[in-house]
């Protein structure tokens, strides 16, 4: 049967577009999307650390970006992704112990993750701004 091809055309199961969007499916995607976003954010974090290690001039340039409006928005999204992925990860760790796997609990955990990450991020920024005394 082999025709020497390395890639076999296997039948594919129906994909995303045929399913009604469901909360749990969205949460799975959000976990992956936030994970990739954080990997990119990790490189931005490296850029910031390198600037600090390079000296005051390099730091001033990078700090100016992070203090600007786009920089602040990016940072806000970065901490949101961090908290969302963190809460989603805790959910996965709970599932790894074979707990909380019934449908109602999964739905509840999904909402807890969304509401939790959004509110925690807002709260942290409010506290952060308050501790620094200004934006």
Residues lying near other proteins in the complex (CB under 8 A): 6-7, 32, 35-36, 38-39, 42-43, 45-47, 49-50, 52-53, 56, 59-60, 63, 66-67, 72, 75, 78-79, 82-83, 86, 89-90, 92-93, 96, 124-125, 127-128, 131-132, 134-135
Question: At closest approach, how far in Å is the CB of 104 from other proteins?
Answer: 25
Question: At closest approach, how far in Å is the CB of 50 from other proteins?
Answer: 5
Which lies closer to other proteins via its Cβ, residue 110 or residue 117?
117
Question: At closest approach, how far in Å is the CB of 19 from other proteins?
Answer: 16
Cα–Cα distances in Å, from 45 out to 9, 38, 91? 41, 10, 26
Which lies closer to other proteins via its Cβ, residue 23 or residue 93?
93
| Cα(30)–Cα(77) distance, integer angstroms | 13
Question: At closest approach, how far in Å is the CB of 42 from other proteins?
Answer: 5
Which lies closer to other proteins via its Cβ, residue 22 or residue 68?
68
Place of tokens 């952060």: 128
Cα–Cα distances in Å, from 69 out to 33, 63, 106, 135? 23, 12, 37, 10
Query: Residue 59: which of 49, 68, 69, 67 has the closest Cα?
Result: 49
Half-sphere exposure of 93 (CA within 13 A, CB side): 6
Which lies closer to other proteins via its Cβ, residue 53 or residue 104?
53
| Cα(30)–Cα(36) distance, integer angstroms | 10
């Amino acid at each position: 049967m082999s025709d020497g091809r390395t890639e076999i055309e296997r039948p594919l199961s129906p994909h995303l577009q045929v399913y009604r969007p469901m909360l749990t499916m969205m949460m799975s995607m959000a976990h992956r999307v936030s994970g990739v976003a954080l990997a990119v954010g990790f490189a931005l974090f490296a850029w910031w650390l390198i600037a600090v290690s390079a000296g005051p001039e390099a730091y001033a340039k990078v700090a100016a970006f992070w203090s600007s409006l786009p920089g602040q928005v990016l940072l806000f999204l970065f901490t949101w992704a961090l908290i969302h992925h963190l809460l989603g990860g805790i959910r996965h760790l709970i599932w790894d112990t074979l707990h909380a796997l019934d449908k109602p609990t999964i739905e509840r955990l999904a909402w807890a993750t969304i509401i939790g990450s959004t509110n925690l991020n807002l709260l942290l920024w409010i506290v952060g701004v308050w501790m620094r005394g200004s934006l």
